[in-house]
Every structure is written in C-alpha cells, then in structure tokens.
C-alpha cells in the first residue's frame, strides 16, 4: 500500500532553525516517511518505531543508534536529520557485552542535541529501544539478515534452514525469523 507522502514531498517549506547549519537551501520539501528497498523510515513525530535506526556516521566505520527527526530532500537526494544516542557512561556496566550473538547494547537515554545528516544508504537497520534505567536505554539492532525459520505445526517444532523461499505445510504454520 502506498502512503500519500511516500513519493511526493511537501511543497518546499522554510528551513527549520536546527537544519540551517546543514544546508545552504532556504526552503526544503519535507516528508513524513520515506520507503526504500521495502523498508519504511519515518520521522519520530509520525511513527517512533520507524524512526529508530542504526547507521554508519560519515566519519566512522562503527554503526551508532539514532532517531530520525526530519526527512527532507536537498540537491535531488533524500536526507534524514538524526539525533544520535551517545554511548552510556563509562561507569555503566553493560550486561549485554558478554553475548556476542545477541546484538543489544546500552546507550545514554538522552539523545544528543546535535543533528547529523544521514543518507538512507548509511542506514544499517531499524532498532528497538527500551529504557534500562534513568540514564540508559537498551538498543537492539533489527538486522534484515535471516536464514533460519522455526516452523510450528500442530504436532511438532522443526528447525528449518532456508536460503530463499518458504513452502506452506498442510497444517497451520507460523514462521518466526531468527537473526544470527
């Protein structure tokens, strides 16, 4: 289903104060959401879950979590204006660091005040975020890599490995993807 503003940006609006340092344009077309490769990204005021992302900053090879505040077009390209989650305090003990196959980590609960300009090509995945303490949130990457499926039938549970397609069994089947 196509959403009305997926492919059609708004009429150009004056650039907001917090975006002025990031663009030379005086007016920009803003969007509520943007879809690419079957994935929908939204600004936080439209849909918080679709605004939470893990991305590669321009100056780093390590992905960081953030929240999309604005989606806009500038110079023929779509951009996300993102507030990042800073690392948790050094004194914070991250209980998830011992589990390399469970990609959750602790970060500071408060988003940074600075806005980073992010291209959709810099986004690795969506994230899930929940409050761990007053000062920390747990961030879990929702990567799109998946090659194992649990098939739950009426009589048994079978672990199936699949690289391409599903086949439906005669009984009701529930597929649950597991990222590894």
**Separation between Cα atoms, residue 83 and residue 89, nearest integer Å:** 18
What pLDDT was estimated at residue 152? Answer: 41
CA 78 – CA 54 distance, rounded (Å): 17
Burial readout 104-130 (b: 16 or more C-beta within 10 A, e: otherwise)? bbbbbbebeeebbbbebebbbbbbebe
In angstroms, how far apart are the furthest CA atoms of the chain? 63
| Residue 105: alpha-carbon gap to chain centroid | 15
| Domains present along the chain, CATH in parentheses | 13-142 (2.30.30.490), 148-178 (no CATH)
- Tens-digit pLDDT profile for the chain (180 aa)? 444 444 555 678 888 888 888 888 889 999 999 999 889 999 999 999 999 999 999 888 899 999 999 999 998 999 999 999 999 999 999 999 898 888 899 999 999 999 999 999 999 999 999 999 999 999 999 975 444 444 444 333 333 333 333 333 333 333 333 333
């Amino acid at each position: 289903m196509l959403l009305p503003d997926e492919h059609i940006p708004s009429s150009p609006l004056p650039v907001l104060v917090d975006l002025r340092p990031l663009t030379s344009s005086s007016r920009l077309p803003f969007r509520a959401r943007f879809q690419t490769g079957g994935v929908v990204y939204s600004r936080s005021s439209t849909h918080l879950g679709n605004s939470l992302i893990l991305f590669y900053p321009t100056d780093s090879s390590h992905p960081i979590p953030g929240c999309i505040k604005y989606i806009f077009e500038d110079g023929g390209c779509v951009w996300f204006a993102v507030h990042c989650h800073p690392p948790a305090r050094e004194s914070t003990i991250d209980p998830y660091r011992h589990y390399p196959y469970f990609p959750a980590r602790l970060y500071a609960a408060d988003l940074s005040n600075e806005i980073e300009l992010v291209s959709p090509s810099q986004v690795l995945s969506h994230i899930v975020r929940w409050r761990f303490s007053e000062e920390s949130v747990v961030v879990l990457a929702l990567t799109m890599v998946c090659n194992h499926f649990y098939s739950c039938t009426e009589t048994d549970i079978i672990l199936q490995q699949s690289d391409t397609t599903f086949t439906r069994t005669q009984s009701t089947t529930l597929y649950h993807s597991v990222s590894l």
